[in-house]
Structure 1
């Protein structure tokens, strides 16, 4: 049965829209720390095959799991746009920045120790090794052609 025509039941609500999942920056930081702990406690596993006198043996080796804002959002049960909104909220900006820096540091350190793929992490962190070559005053480089036949 539908609501009666002209009803205004929605006005009886104490608030409109969904309440934020985290009502304080401290709650958000605590939840982010739970994600950090979960990442540490749940490494990825790589199956490695080794030859031995008994034949081929397979061993599962733990591998570092990279933290990410996307992974954090899944863990917190929020969408990435909600994370962006938390960054804009008064009092939450500092916590969001700290969380972003923890994630960045974990990726950078993991890549530097080659526990994570350095090329993938460098791209993810925007650490491109770019060299731009130009001629005088930013003009394109012009190849020099040696017409004398000498090297």
Structure 2
């Protein structure tokens, strides 16, 4: 789904940043981002037909939270966010924010409010199957197989 016409997300900024002197100030700015995401859903145009009349309605869609979106909102580079992870006192806040964003995306995809395939890739979730031989040994190719005909 493309960004809506007139989307100016890049202009949105936290009222706190871009320098956060304390973990509490960083948390307040992150909470501001969470509130902004909730208050600004994306809109999907859908065509409806009733008695031959076609009407286009805009349906609210959940906006996924992302670290990159948060960084844009905070007016900081991704590297700066990563540096906050390492600063004394900020690790708990950044870990909590990471968990909130991950949970929001997971739950949105589980409820089919976000695209499950995209979110699964974003979260590093994948169905993997590994084929092995007996007792987990590597598969060995069989050469020169003759099939007897009946």
Q: TM bucket by the smaller chain?
A: 0.7 to 0.9
Counting only pairs closer than 5 Å after superposition, residues 1-151 of structure 1 correspond to structure 2 as: 21-53=19-51, 55-136=53-134, 137-140=136-139, 142=141, 147-149=147-149
Instruction: Return the offset for 1:139.
Output: 1.2
**Cα distance in structure 2, aligned partners of 1:112 and 1:82:** 31
Normalising to structure 2: TM-score of the pair? 0.81
Distance verdict in 2 for CA 1:105–1:143, change over 3 Å = farther
Could you tell me the TM-score, scaled by structure 1's length? 0.80
**C-alpha distance in structure 2 between counterparts of 1:37 and 1:146, whole Å:** 68
Residues 140/27 of structure 1: CA separation in 2 closer, same or farther (3 Å cut): same
> 1:19-78: CA deviations, max 9, x gaps?
x70000000011000000000000000000011226110000000000000000000000
Q: Unmatched 5+ residue regions in structure 1?
A: 1-19
Contact 1:32/1:72 (<8 A) preserved: yes
Distance verdict in 2 for CA 1:55–1:142, change over 3 Å: same
Compare relative contact order (CA 8 Å, sep 6+) and give the higher one, 1 or 2.
2
Question: What secondary structure, in the 3-state scheme, does the structure 2 residue paired with 1:60 have?
Answer: strand
Unmatched runs of 5 consecutive residues or more in structure 2: 1-17
Say if 1:107 and 1:121, in contact at 8 Å, map to a contact too.
yes
Task: Evaluate the alpha carbon distance shift between residue 34 and residue 143 of structure 1 in structure 2; reply closer, same or farther with a 3 A threshold.
Answer: farther
Q: Is the 8 A contact 1:134 1:141 kept in 2?
A: no
Partners of 1:60 and 1:112 lie apart in 2 by 23
Asked whether the 8 Å contact 1:133–1:141 carries over to 2, the reply is: no
Deviation at 1:112, TM superposition (A): 0.3
